[in-house]
Structure 1
């Protein structure tokens, strides 16, 4: 990948918005990794790439060293002409000891609400990292509160009281959260965030407990 990307980037004549690189990686059930690199840079002419000869290297064929290294490291390397969509470099390599299992469905491994023991408490500034993980687990990168993707920002807002969180924990691990934000520019308004619950706890009573705590009259000692 290093050699191929260096070749592609070095070939760009200038910086334009069209010159974008997209990288996709896939792993199939046979343990073969495929990496595709798509770009809108100049056309690739393999017949113009010098053929590097390791037994007799010369200044004239040294420019082909990258292709020699890339091609001999992977099981398959090719450049595909995508027409008006540019070019795509495809690299494939079979892993010697691939070990992976498909993820279980969300419904599998759910926590029985009769077994789970929850504690509901106010969120603390040192909960920020766990809350960021919970945000991703619940919403991916679609949650509307950007601070919930930056632990340092979230920690600051929790410490200052600009964000008040109610978290549900199970065995000391945060499994649910609901938050209220108090932006300093609108001191008379508060904004209730969407609920977050770890996948395996979505059939439990964690949501009910957090809602009950959220509507309490003295949440976070804020009016």
Structure 2
């Protein structure tokens, strides 16, 4: 959940921001001591921005985004003040002791009181500072290992035959959903928030997820399946699927998927999409069965995949296939397809049944400055840069963002989304030569209901042979990416 505050570059704004930050930290689950430390870091950052980024502070503003997940909190401060290089302002203890020179002390405090401190230079778009702190609600990893070591191996037994019905989930189902997750996975499910009924209830009340629950005629919860609407577009991700082990092989999962597709259409969603792991083809086969089309292959997308029954540790971050199911018919949309990827993008559109009119770029006008959003997934060590507008500074802005991520985050992969309905995309793609990006796939309706070309930059070594892709077209995409990766290596 994001909370956004727009404050003036005025010293009078510092105390109210810090008071809010402290209360917010406590509400997010930090202890009083950790909340105080994080608030101190926030205070240092906001103070430095207000005092030094805007020498002429009249009518200048700072945007603050307070972002919360179950496992961490993050403050994102965005401003368009004077250029700044943090490497030029490092703290020197000897200068502080001997000369009273405390330059860089504020940045040192920020780094000590947070788990991650990231600076992103976005050129004419300004600068971005990100402060992150882990929230240790409980040590889920210890619980996972404990449950694995204590759980005896049980012989497989025949599933219990049962009559059941499927209905849409409501906040009242929250506790049963948490119990279903535990009974099926104990503490090995990767989405930790599903162990907390209050968290589930909150997301259902806020319509942050839509889904169905399966119950026996006696009212026992047997299965749960949900789709998660994207905040910036009218599509939803298929995820959070579970069937109680005693009631599998009775068509419950398939029937829930059918109901989910109906729910998506009833809510007028443009499409459903899934990220099917390539460690084995089971989830890919399920998606194919219901008409999903593979549109991309995201290499090294997640570190956080746990599979029961796999004794050996998977030797690299897990890649995922993007599967998409359009839910509505569309009028032909104008798209500008780069020549390099014209054929594979056109075939992807055809397989999806999405009507397009390919256009050629003719004398487009760049925006005054580039505009790009950055999403960082700290736990998976990946980032996604979403381009909104191209300016003359596009390549330099992108290079600065990449350098910041590579120097500070040590990512597995960096993804880049380019708008296909923007006339500038084909020629701007040529500006990316030498930056190490290769094809990832088509991301239809992924941002602001528009289609995007997703590229990827692989930042660590991996083995393509371990990436198991099921569908024929998915294998075609994999082959295309493999060839391009080989040429760029």
Which range, TM-score by smaller chain?
0.3 to 0.5
TM-score (norm 1): 0.47
- Larger Rg, first or second structure (1 or 2): 1
Identify the structure with the greater helix proportion.
Answer: 2
Higher relative contact order (CA closer than 8 Å, sequence separation 6+):
1
TM-score (norm 2): 0.22
